[in-house]
Structure 1
Amino acid sequence: MKDIKKRQRGYRNLRKALCVGYANKLAERMVQHNGYRTIGFKPQLVQVHPSSTLKTDEDGMFPNYIVYHELIATSRPFMRNVCAVEMAWVSPILKKLEKLDIDKLSGGSGRSIREESEKKVTSLPKKEEAVAGVPDDRESRIQAARDRFLARKGKK
């Protein structure tokens, strides 16, 4: 009996270590169905792969949180090699993920990508200045394209 409890505790510790170590591979069960939403930078809806041995509870539902090893895209995205994790293990990770700045983590300046793109857009020259001499109306652009095509065709 002691050996079984010791083994169960060992598996529980292993699942906890997987939860912490693979925090970027966490998924949360959707409320209305057995599908999951990956947690992280780009969340997506996924299903548990049919070959998975993940067990359902008494109501036929999968666990609320799982860790997966890989995503497979067939007709639908599936998670393979999954194991259940407990909410108590996931809560501290979610709190850290809320505060995490992906840009800073990847060696960026710490400013958001949106701020930098807005700054670049405001520093760009006006459209009229950048494309001087090119007609704006549709018909003249079409005619200019025809002229270029005919000029190339005539050279051959």
Structure 2
Amino acid sequence: MSAAGPGEAAAVTAMEAAGLAYTVTRHGRVSSLEEAAAARGVEPAAIIKTIVVRRAEEDYLLVLVPGDRTISWPRLRALLGVSRLSMPDAATAREVTGYERGTITPFGALRAWPVVADERVSGTVSIGAGAHGVAATVDGAALVAALDARVADVTDPA
């Protein structure tokens, strides 16, 4: 097994600093949600995607979305009290988080952007850990608490 790269090291350091109990799983690149879930030993719904959302110029937030769900844009806009949200392109997402798409995690991002967690983030979940094919298995409630995430119903079935 190779040594942790800079993204994984940043994520792990941040999880430790937050006092979050976690288990790292390294499984290499996968091509689907189902492959990732099988490799991590969890159900697809327990895979937590970290989505970068642009609220305004230089104003982003991270949304934690269960793997089998998608963002409900009307509900997220209503929660945030804004009329428009967008997803930045891959280069901008990397610029504002320090992670490339597919590896984005709230832990160790370049800036501590606000986090909104869908209310279904609970039980044992698996979140990206800063590198392709690397994840952290954590308790969903502890994850939400460690990130001081705002919890709301902000997703729809995929």
TM-score (normalised: structure 1)? 0.21
Whichever structure has more helix as a proportion of its residues is: 1
Structure of larger gyration radius: 1
Structure number with higher relative contact order (C-alpha < 8 Å, ≥ 6 residues apart): 2
TM-score by length of 2: 0.21
Instruction: Tell me which protein shows more strand as a share of its residues.
Output: 2
